[in-house]
């Protein structure tokens, strides 16, 4: 693999993960309760534990979060 | 079961399990270093860094073999079920050991040049068409990424929010990760030229994993056969004699569509529910009735046999089935009812069991 190709791949992966870290940080503070009622009042240790997964799967998380926000409050 | 989340649902059994896991891994790494130092001496001696790298790497792949063997072992012999109970923690620990191995390897072999270590990892060897010079490190990196995804999504929060089927598909990636790691170790052993011992151990491990999976699958196939339809019009399934089902246990029957139904005997009554636990798809028919509830052998999730609902405050529901006893034999309607539907149990003719 050429060095430039490797740099592009790693830059893309880094950018994806940077966005993921930002989304995950906001999500575990303000979003997790809205997509899963069982997370309401959950401890910080739990929120910290799910944050690597939220950073890796941030497109899924973002979509679920937006869907939850669009649903009318019951 | 889902009411509120905690970071780890530890109990006494899980703490003992985890302590044994950590002590076992530490003992393995220490033993690997001691034995390797005694074996490879003088000109063949390995540096401490390489010894530690190999100890961690081999520990991770041994643990992965153990993880992959636990499922079929528990299927073949119920005495292995306690190992299944906390397999997730074993998986996370395996990832952490593999991550340490990978980080040390990248730092040791690629961390002292002018290039970014990861760029160096991806570009320093491009002999993808050569078996003896193949860049096996890339295979390990691929496996590590899969293991990270699995470890990061091992909490029940992910099971619930990714949906059980997506979560299951994601975690079935353990098999591609295993293939990548076997190739990583096999090619690494080929290239370091230190004898066939790693190949022999790896070959034995692969045979064990494949053999146990085949054995477990054959047993499932045999179990699924032999439950004829008793009435072509009604399509009910024969589940065998009611008296043959042990108290507070189940017999599993399979529909023509391949769905498994667990037929439980409890308090002199017979009830049927899906064999698939709502948590991680565990085999409810291999569990037992505890405190009046069907208890999944994998993680202890519970459901009432009469309506397939978890006891309050939990809210999980599973599919229930109609049952009847004719001539002492249990018959099951293979058309499942919506999850949580109450069903009248069939009464056994003989005295109620304990």
> Going by C-beta distance under 8 Å and a sequence separation of 6 or more, which residues neighbour residue B29?
B52, B55, B56, B59
**CA B243, B246, B252: angle at the middle one, nearest 5?**
90
Question: Of the candidates B67, B5, B144, which has an alpha carbon nearest to the alpha carbon of residue A50?
Answer: B5
- Among A38, A45, A54, the strongest candidate for a mutation testing the B interface, having the largest count of B CBs within 10 A, is A38
Measured distance CA(B309)–CA(B315) in Å, rounded: 7
Q: For chain B, give the percent of residues with pLDDT over 70.
A: 94
Radius of gyration of chain A (CA): 15
State how far the Cα of B150 lies from the Cα of B181, in Å rounded to an integer.
Answer: 15
* Per-residue confidence (pLDDT) for residue B227, from 0 to 100: 57
Q: Does residue B295 contact residue B302 with C-beta atoms inside 8 Å?
A: yes
Average pLDDT over residues B245-265: 89
Q: Which string of DSSP letters, residue by residue, matches B191-242?
A: HHT--SHHHHHHHHHHHHHHHHHHHHHHHHHHHHS---BS-TTT-PEEEEEG
ipTM: 0.93
Which of B61-65, B230-234, B242-246 has the highest mean predicted lDDT (pLDDT)?
B61-65
B237-347 CATH, one of 3.40.605.10, 2.102.10.10, 3.50.50.60, 2.10.240.10? 2.102.10.10
User: Tokens 């498994």 sit at which residue?
Assistant: B260
Half-sphere CA count of B13, side-chain side, radius 13 A: 10
Contact B157 A46 (CB under 8 A): yes
pLDDT over 80 at B354, yes or no: no
Does A64 fall in a domain?
A: yes
Q: Which of A49, A59, A65 to mutate to test the interface with B (most CBs of B within 10 A)?
A: A49
Q: How many domains does chain A have?
A: 1
Decide if A41 is inside a domain.
yes
Percent of all residues in chain B with a pLDDT value above 90, rounded to a whole number: 53
- State the residue range of the domain holding A34: 16-70
d(CA B92, CA B33) in angstroms, rounded, equals 23
Residue A2 inside a domain? The answer is: no
pLDDT, tens digit, 9 for 90 and up, residues B194-218: 678 888 999 999 999 999 999 999 9
In a domain, A53, yes or no: yes
- Give the pLDDT confidence of A11-22 residue by residue, as tens digits: 999 999 999 999
* Placement of tokens 């401490």 in the chain: B48
Closest CA to B277 of B260, B291, B264: B260
Residue A4 inside a domain? The answer is: no
How far is it, in rounded angstroms, from Cα B74 to Cα B71? 5
Contacts of B155 in chain A (CB under 8 A): 46, 49-50, 53
Domain-wise residue ranges, chain B: 12-223, 237-347
Q: Is the pLDDT of residue B180 over 60?
A: yes
The closest CB to that of B6, out of A36, A40, A43, belongs to A43
């Amino acid at each position: 693999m050429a060095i430039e190709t490797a740099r592009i791949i790693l830059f893309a992966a880094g950018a994806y993960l940077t966005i993921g870290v930002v989304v995950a940080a906001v999500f575990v503070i303000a979003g997790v309760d809205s997509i899963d009622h069982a997370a309401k009042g959950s401890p910080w240790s739990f929120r910290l534990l799910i944050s690597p997964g939220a950073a890796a799967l941030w497109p899924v998380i973002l979509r679920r979060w937006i869907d939850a926000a669009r649903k009318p409050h019951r | 079961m889902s009411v509120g989340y905690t970071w780890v649902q530890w109990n006494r059994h899980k703490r003992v399990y985890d302590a044994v896991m950590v002590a076992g891994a530490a003992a393995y790494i220490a033993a690997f270093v001691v034995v390797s130092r005694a074996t490879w001496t003088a000109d063949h001696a390995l540096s401490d860094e390489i010894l530690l790298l190999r100890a961690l790497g081999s520990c991770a792949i041994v643990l992965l073999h153990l993880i992959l063997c636990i499922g079929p072992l528990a299927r073949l012999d119920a005495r292995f079920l306690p190992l299944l109970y906390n397999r997730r923690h074993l998986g996370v620990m395996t990832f952490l050991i593999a991550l340490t191995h990978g980080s040390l390897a990248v730092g040791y072999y690629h961390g002292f040049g002018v290039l970014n270590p990861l760029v160096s990892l991806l570009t320093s060897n491009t002999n993808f068409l050569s078996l003896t010079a193949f860049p096996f490190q890339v295979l390990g990196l691929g496996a590590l990424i899969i293991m990270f995804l699995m470890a990061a999504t091992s909490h029940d929060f992910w099971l619930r929010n990714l949906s059980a089927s997506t979560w299951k598909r994601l975690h079935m990636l353990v098999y591609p990760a295993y293939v990548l790691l076997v190739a990583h170790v096999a090619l690494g052993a080929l290239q370091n030229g230190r004898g066939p011992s790693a190949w022999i151990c790896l070959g034995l491990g692969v045979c064990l994993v494949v053999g146990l999976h085949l054995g477990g699958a054959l047993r499932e196939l045999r179990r699924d056969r032999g439950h004829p339809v008793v009435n072509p019009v009604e399509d009910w399934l024969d589940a065998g004699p009611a008296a043959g089902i042990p108290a507070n246990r189940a017999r599993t029957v399979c529909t023509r569509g391949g769905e498994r139904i667990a037929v439980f005997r409890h308090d002199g009554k017979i009830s049927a529910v899906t064999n698939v636990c709502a948590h991680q798809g565990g085999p409810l028919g291999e569990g037992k009735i505890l405190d009046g509830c069907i208890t999944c052998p994998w993680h202890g999730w519970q459901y009432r046999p009469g309506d397939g609902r978890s006891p309050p405050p939990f809210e999980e529901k599973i599919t229930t089935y109609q049952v009847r006893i004719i001539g002492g034999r249990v018959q099951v309607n293979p058309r499942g009812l919506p999850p949580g539907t109450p069903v009248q149990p069939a009464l056994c003719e003989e005295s109620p069991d304990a």
